[in-house]
Amino acid sequence: MKGGPSQEDIRRHNLGALLRFVHLRGPASRATLAESLGLNRSTIMALTADLTAAGLVREELPRKPGRRAGRPSLVVRPESTRVYVLAFDVGVDRLVVARVGLGGEVLDRREGARDRGADASDLVTALVSAARSLVRKAGRDAVCVGAAVAFPGIVRRADDAIMFGPNLDIGDLSLGEALSRRLGLGIPVAVCNDADLGALAEHERGAGVGCDNLIYLHGDVGVGGGIIVGGRLLGGDQGFGGEIGHMVVNPGGRPCACGAQGCLEAEVGERTLLAHAEREEGPDGREAVRAVVEAADWGDIVAREALHRVGTWLGIGVANLVNVFNPGLVVFGGTLRDVYLGSAAQVRSVLATNALAASREKVRLRTAALGDDTTLVGAAEFAFTEVLADPVQVLARLKAPEDTPVL
C-alpha cells in the first residue's frame, strides 16, 4: 500500500525497462522502444544516452538492413561482449561454467564431467578454475556484472544456504560465499535451485516466452520443479517452493531420499527408470536415461514397459499440477525431456482421465526449448537481475578501479 514512485524511481525503472527489452528481445530502433515501453521518443533518447554513457548499450546501424528504401534507422544494441555475467550449472554428473554477454549470448564456456564421489572442495576448485580461465579470456575493458549458480537442491532465499540436496551433498559449505571469495571479482555469487532457474530461462528465452503461468519439471538424478505464476517465479515463504519432485503421487510407493514414500522423484527419477528397465547394474546418468528411451524406440519391451510405468506417475503428477495451477504450459527439461519424449502417450492418457477438462483443454506439454542449457541460461538470467534493475548505478559501482580483478 505504499505511495507512488519518485521521478528518480521512474527514471531508474525506465532505464531498467529499456535495457531489459534489448537484453531479452535483441537490438531495437528508438521507434520500437518508444512503442513497446509506452514512452515518448525524447525520453527514449535520453535513456539511451545514459545507458550509452554507462557502457551498457550502443547505437549503430542494424546488421540486417530493413526493407524500406533510404537510410536505415539506428538500433540500440546491448554491449554483449563488454558487459557479461558468469553462469555456473552444477549437475550431479556434469559441470558447466559460461561467460554470458548482455543480450544473452553465451560468449564462452567450459564443460566437464563431475565424478559423483567428488567432494565440496573439488567442486569449488573445478568451478573457480573454469571461471578464471573464462575471465582471463574476456577483453580488458569487459565488466563482470553478476554471477549465479544453478544447484540441484533446496536453497534458502535469505542466505543461499542449501537446505536439502541428497543427490549432490556438499555438507555445510556456503557455496556462494566460497565461490565469490575465490573468484575475487568483487561480486557476490547467488545460488539458486536449478529447476527454478530452468523455469525462469524457459519463461524468458525458451518454450514459455509470452506464457505467464508455466511449470518446469527438471530431471537430473532427482526431480525438481520451477513454477511461474503470473509472470513471477513461485518462491514461497522462504524460497523453498516448487518442490514438485516431493509431491506424493503414489502413497506407500517407492522410498524417496527425503524419507517419504511414493514421491514423484521416487517414481520417475533416474534410478527408478533404470531399475524398471533392469539396468541398475550398468552406467547411470543422462546417457543411461537416453539409452532406455532409444531402446524403447527400437522396440525393447522391457524399456517400453519401464517408460510406461514412469509415464503413469509422471501423468498423475502433471494432472495434479494442472488442476492446482491451471498453467498454460508444462515444460520437461533435463533428463525428463527424454523421459517425456519416451512416454508422452501415457502421460497424456493419464492427464486426460485425471485433470479437469477446464484446465486440461488448453494446457500445452513441451520439452525445454533451451535443451541441456536451460538451467545454465537461467543462472545467467538470474545473474543479470541486479544490473537490469538499476543499470547505471550498478555498472558505475562495478567499474570502480578497486574492483578490477587480479587473476
Instruction: List the interface residues with its own copies, window 263-282 (CB under 8 A).
Output: none
Rule CB under 8 A: choose which of 353, 371, 396, 404 binds its own copies.
Answer: 353
Task: Return d(Cα 351, Cα 315) in angstroms, integer.
Answer: 5
Quick note: the x/- pattern for its own copies over 216-245, rule CB under 8 A, is: ---------x-x-xx-x-xxxxxxxxxxx-
**Grid coordinates standing for 79?**
554491449
CB burial of residue 195 (10 Å; 0-12, 13-18, 19+): buried
3-state SS track over 324-351: HHCCCEEEEEEHHHHHHHHHHHHHHHHH
Rule CB under 8 A: choose which of 53, 209, 324, 407 binds its own copies.
Answer: 324
- Are the CB atoms for 170 and 122 separated by under 8 Å? no
User: How many positions of this chain bind its own copies (CB under 8 A)?
Assistant: 69
Residue 144 neighbours by CB under 8 Å, 6+ apart: 84, 85, 86, 135, 138, 185, 187, 398, 405
- Are the CB atoms for 202 and 169 separated by under 8 Å? no
- Type and span of the H or E element at 248: none
Task: Return d(Cα 345, Cα 342) in angstroms, integer.
Answer: 8
| Contact flag: residue 349 with its own copies (CB under 8 A) | no
- Rounded least distance, CB 233 to its own copies, Å: 9
| Contact flag: residue 386 with its own copies (CB under 8 A) | no
| Contact flag: residue 17 with its own copies (CB under 8 A) | yes
Select the span of 70-78, 136-144, 252-260, 331-339 touching its own copies (CB under 8 A).
252-260
| Contact flag: residue 13 with its own copies (CB under 8 A) | yes
- Are the CB atoms for 59 and 52 separated by under 8 Å? yes
Task: Return d(Cα 354, Cα 48) in angstroms, integer.
Answer: 52
Rule CB under 8 A: choose which of 29, 36, 52, 73 binds its own copies.
Answer: 36
Q: Between 5 and 26, whose beta carbon lies closer to its own copies?
A: 5
Q: How far is CA 79 from CA 17, 186, 275, 364, in A?
A: 16, 21, 49, 35
Instruction: List the interface residues with its own copies, window 166-205 (CB under 8 A).
Output: none
| Contact flag: residue 331 with its own copies (CB under 8 A) | no
Q: How many other CB atoms are found less than 10 A from the CB of residue 404? A: 12
Q: Between 144 and 155, whose beta carbon lies closer to its own copies?
A: 155
Select the span of 13-21, 55-63, 195-203, 276-284 touching its own copies (CB under 8 A).
13-21
Q: Between 118 and 240, whose beta carbon lies closer to its own copies?
A: 240
Q: Give the binding site for its own copies (CB under 8 A).
A: 1-5, 9-11, 13-14, 17, 20-21, 36-39, 43, 154, 156, 163-164, 211-213, 225, 227, 229-230, 232, 234-244, 246-251, 258-260, 316, 319-321, 323-328, 353-359, 362-363
